[in-house]
A and B are shown apart, each in its own frame.
Chain A
Amino acid sequence: MPDLYVSRMDLVASLRTFSAVAHERSFTRGAERCGQPQPVASRRVAALERHLGVSLLRRSSRKVDLTAEGERLLPLADDVLSGVERIERAFGDAEGLVVAVPEGVEARARAAIRRGLPGLRVGFTVADPPEREVALGTGTAALALLPTAPDAGEVLVPLGIAHVDRRPPATFHLDRLRRPVRQRDLPARAVHLLAEDDVPAVRDPLRTAAFAAGLRADQVVVGTPPAEAWTRVHEWDDVVLAGAAEARREGVAWSPLATPLVRGYRLDGTGLTPDQHRALVRRLAEGLGGEVGRGAA
């Protein structure tokens, strides 16, 4: 049982100092990183060593090395510190306004959002739909763009098929993916749904349309990791359900679906005035290559 040389609040501060010194391999630079005078940093690490009853750092004239115990502590300390940071970000307004968004909000739009909300120090966290919901629920994000039925959506991203067909059709009918009877040994071309589209309003109608068009069970693949899905487009002529902007970013052709499908989002969370909310919705819609939906009215 370690003696109480440091209180619990000091423990976090001591760990922060230790981590900075250990990463910098220097008391001078570590102290600078923490914004402390060097003697304070030295005292904090010494108190931590007494608290834990082990020596953590080997001090020499030129640089600082970690002892075996120091090596063991460093990753644990960093874990604690990142947890502390999350807690502070979740509850402290001063840390800024975090918006959980899907992959693909263009940099220009992100900049416009920041300029449009001066003083709020807007940050972005990019995550799949379930994680965005968790981020909002736990307070890691103050606002999140969450999937919703298109008719209730504030942001709408029309979906189509991203593909490398040599003669891109004006409209992509899913039965283009049916295997020719005479080439049944070829792998069946699949339509991939990314995690972003693994939501009922998109996934279920797409599956119904695909099977109604005569596709095989293994020709609809849900939740393919994006890199794998886009690789398969070039490797096997597979196709990806995507917005036009995503296809453009990947440098492949895009055709609208015969039966239109739309990603619908609502901007959930608190901390904005109605005007700020409307402006953010408009810029997110632009940044995702979509449009503002009726749900925003």
Chain B
Amino acid sequence: MRPEHAAVVADVQREWTATGLTGSLLARHLGTGEELGFGADEPWPLASVVKLPVALVVLDAFARGELDPAEPFDLDPRATTSGPTGVAAFRHPGRVAAEDLLQLALAVSDNAATDLLLDRIGRDEVAARIAGLGFPEIVLRHSMRAIYGTSGTVTAAGLALTGGGRTPGGGHVIDELDPTRANVGTARSLVTLLARVWADEVGAPGVAGRLRAMLGHQLVRHRLAVELVSDEVRVRSKTGTFLDLRHEAGVVELGDTERIAVAVLTRSAVPAAVQMEAELAIGHAARLAVEALRG
């Protein structure tokens, strides 16, 4: 990291502290390889960011002919994983193709769609394939069912508990917040995954390009992208939000040439569900990192 980047890191950490955030940040210029950040090797519960490596495995299964992208999945609202978006919010039976489920899982973080695909391939098999593709630091241990579908009261209790629930050694009383029992990854493993996707160096031919396209439909624009996006600047990314966790990993595409991968994994000390100050602090950090790295 260049000395002038230390000042950027200090600025980010100061604002995060004021906001009540702690976290990891890693930005890597995919052309020069230059990096900026902190805490990049710290393991974090990934929340919905885990849908990024899951998508890679599913697309790879499509490309290898193991799973038909057009395979229909029957949706039974009584059985599907609950969630605020996508088919998870459906109230009536329906039928959706595998590839469309995957698009919903990435664009609107659809929990039911993700679990249907995980169940189809097998969660252990998906976990093994993530490691097999070269990302052993990213560990899949549970489905989306485990962390969502909780009532408002449980969410409120969970929010209040997040700070007090930590145990010695970095553990947590809530499984899905404990790095030894949750789906985990590091900022560096996510940036490395994105770098290989953007370099077409992962999975069967065509997989990387398809994943890049699918990541371009991200609906959440008030986090990583808030101070970056314009007609000139695209952000292709995947978010993760659970209780006190606010994450996003993606690639900032500046014009036609420059590509900067950014992973931000954060925890908030503020016990509230909606925290625009935290979102904006993450967005500002991403913007500072991108400005520091771009040519």
A interface residues with partner B (beta carbon < 8 Å): 178-179, 181, 184, 188, 207-208, 211-212, 214-218
Contacts and interface: CB of A to CB of B under 8 A. Distances in A.
Nearest to B20: A217
B277 A215 contact: yes
Interface range on chain B (Cβ under 8 Å from partner) = 10 to 19
Given A216-B277, A217-B19, 10 more contacts: A181-B280, A208-B271, A211-B272, A214-B276, A215-B277, A216-B18, A216-B20, A216-B270, A217-B270, A218-B19
B17 to A, nearest CB: 8
B274 interface: yes
B269 interface: yes
A217 B269 CA distance: 7
Contacts of B275: 211, 214
Nearest to B272: A211
Nearest to A214: B276
Contact of B280 (A184, A207, A212): A184
Nearest to A218: B18
Contacts of B284: 184
16 contacts: A178-B276, A181-B280, A184-B280, A208-B271, A211-B270, A211-B271, A211-B272, A211-B275, A214-B274, A215-B277, A216-B18, A216-B277, A217-B19, A217-B268, A217-B270, A218-B17
Which secondary structure dominates where chain B touches chain A? mixed
Contacts of B272: 211-212, 214
B271 A188 contact: no
- Most chain A CB neighbours (cut-off 10 Å) among B19, B21, B277, B280: B277
A216 B18 CA distance: 7
A214 B281 CA distance: 13
Nearest to B273: A212
B271 A218 contact: no
A181 B270 CA distance: 19
B89 to A, nearest CB: 24
A215 B272 CA distance: 9
Contacts of B276: 178, 214
A179 B280 CA distance: 11
Contact of B19 (A178, A181, A212, A216): A216
B14 to A, nearest CB: 11
A188 to B, nearest CB: 7
Nearest to A217: B20
Contacts of A184: 280, 284
Contacts of A215: 277
A188 B268 CA distance: 17
A214 B279 CA distance: 11
B280 A217 contact: no
A218 B281 CA distance: 13
Contacts of B17: 218
A157 B277 CA distance: 32
A214 B270 CA distance: 10
Contacts of A212: 272
